[in-house]
Structure 1
Amino acid sequence: MKQTFKPAGKVLKGFLWADIGLTVLLMINVLIIGFIGAGEAFLNYDVVVSLVLTTIVIIYTIIYLVWLYRVHNYLQEMDPSYPITPGGALARVMIPLYNLYGVWNVYSTMANHFKKKPSISEIGMRLSKYVPIYYVLFLTTAILNSYLSRQPIEEFYSSLWFIAYSADIALVIMYIMIIKIVSAGLIKFSAEKNDSGSSADFS
């Protein structure tokens, strides 16, 4: 079975690290503007950084969906009884309101299936610990960003933006950790399955 999720995961992690770097720049900008003030040139620079970050977010969101689809396709190739289809996984994270349940369901289901296999049960346990942290950060950033998007332009450099950027970075770090641990679980299980030459599955 071709591990098509691996290259997508590597590219995705690269964009996520770029997100962190640019968000740190925006946090520094908030501090500079808040304590020192800034001229028009600096504000224009801040706008450019924000636009680049927005572009990167759009790109890695698309790559993330590709990665998620390929991960679930691989899971079903290894175990046809896996309960979430690739399309079902995309629906769970893309459909508004439904994704409040779906985001949790996608990763908790994956963690539970990993825990059923002795060789990757520890990975499943670690993933299950990541899920609630990821979910809380997912909700926190969604609420904060929704609130800030409705604020007047003069509030763009308030302390709340610094908090929102910090939460965004924490969420992206959790994304990276989840991508790494999911990939590690799939690769380890696949290697064991190939070495044994058996038709073992998660059940």
Structure 2
Amino acid sequence: MNKLRSESVSNILSIILKVTIVLASVALINTALFDAAPEVYEYLFRFDQAVILLLTFLYYILLVLYLIWVYQVHVDFNNLFLDYPITPGKAVGFYFIPIFNFYWFLNIPMKISNKLKHEPVTADDGKRFSAMWPFAMGLYFFNSFIDNYISRTHPLDISNELWLVSDLVFLTLMILSFLLLKAVTNSLQQLKASKEDLEQQPEEEPSFKA
């Protein structure tokens, strides 16, 4: 069996998520300094603006890579399971249907979670994925709500506490995203190895009794 279709994009996603987590941690520290030691933050202002700009750039890259990853992961699921109900085209395409995409945003991780939990070789990763993805979805919507509020509010009217909450929520979301990615990647590798082992086992010759 050839390598997993999602392997390359998973590796790229993993690297970018690690970089994003580091930068988000730096942004959180900068925001804390802005609140606790504004005289120190003055020296870090330009650096903080560069970090925020880079985080914004990486976030949009992650959104694009996520869609590519979803497509490739569903190619793998369809190759590994003939009965898997979602095709790669449907997995990505339904994200672009207004209103319905809110349901689809929750349906994709739910289907992945159910499949992984019911496979013996991926049961542990499936349980971890199942426990984490609802929190990740909740944080995603909460993060979007905060970002939308901040974009509509004058900067002077935004409290320091809200900036801290915004940075903390984003950092937690990136950490959960990384853990979810690892759970799916590990599960697919285990499923691939299990399928290869089955294919390599010699077929038993029928025995005939005299």
Question: TM-score, normalised on structure 1?
Answer: 0.87
Paired residues, number: 198
CA apart distance, 1:4: 2.4
C-alpha separation between the residues in 2 aligned to 1:56 and 1:32? 23
Verify the 8 A CA contact 1:33 1:157 in the aligned structure 2: no
Alignment partner, residue 201 of structure 1? none
Alignment partner, residue 65 of structure 2? 63
After TM superposition, list the pairs within 5 Å mapping 1:24-173 onto structure 2: 24-38=25-39, 42-93=44-95, 95=97, 97-155=99-157, 158-173=160-175
Structure 1, residues 58-85: CA drift from partner, whole Å, max 9, x if none? 2222222211111011111122321112
C-alpha separation between the residues in 1 aligned to 2:87 and 2:34? 48
After TM superposition, list the pairs within 5 Å mapping 1:166-185 onto structure 2: 166-185=168-187
Q: Mean alpha-carbon deviation: is it higher for 87-96 or for 115-124?
A: 87-96
Q: Mean alpha-carbon deviation: is it higher for 100-109 or for 160-169?
A: 100-109
Structure 1, residues 152-176: CA drift from partner, whole Å, max 9, x if none? 1224662101101101111111111
Identity of aligned residues (%): 27
Alignment partner, residue 12 of structure 2? 11
- Secondary structure at 2:38 match in 1: coil
C-alpha separation between the residues in 2 aligned to 1:30 and 1:10? 30
C-alpha separation between the residues in 1 aligned to 2:114 and 2:160? 41
Q: Mean alpha-carbon deviation: is it higher for 2-11 or for 38-47?
A: 38-47
Cα distance change on mapping 1:81 and 1:157 into 2, 3 Å: same
C-alpha separation between the residues in 1 aligned to 2:53 and 2:163? 16
Q: Which amino acid aligns with 2:103?
A: Y
> Whose radius of gyration is greater, 1 or 2?
2
Question: Gaps spanning 5+ residues in structure 2: where?
Answer: 201-210
C-alpha separation between the residues in 2 aligned to 1:72 and 1:30? 39
Question: Gaps spanning 5+ residues in structure 1: where?
Answer: 199-203
Q: Mean alpha-carbon deviation: is it higher for 110-119 or for 7-16?
A: 110-119
Verify the 8 A CA contact 2:5 2:75 in the aligned structure 1: no
Q: Which amino acid aligns with 1:159?
A: E
**In angstroms, what is the RMSD of aligned CA positions?**
2.2
C-alpha separation between the residues in 1 aligned to 2:106 and 2:119? 21
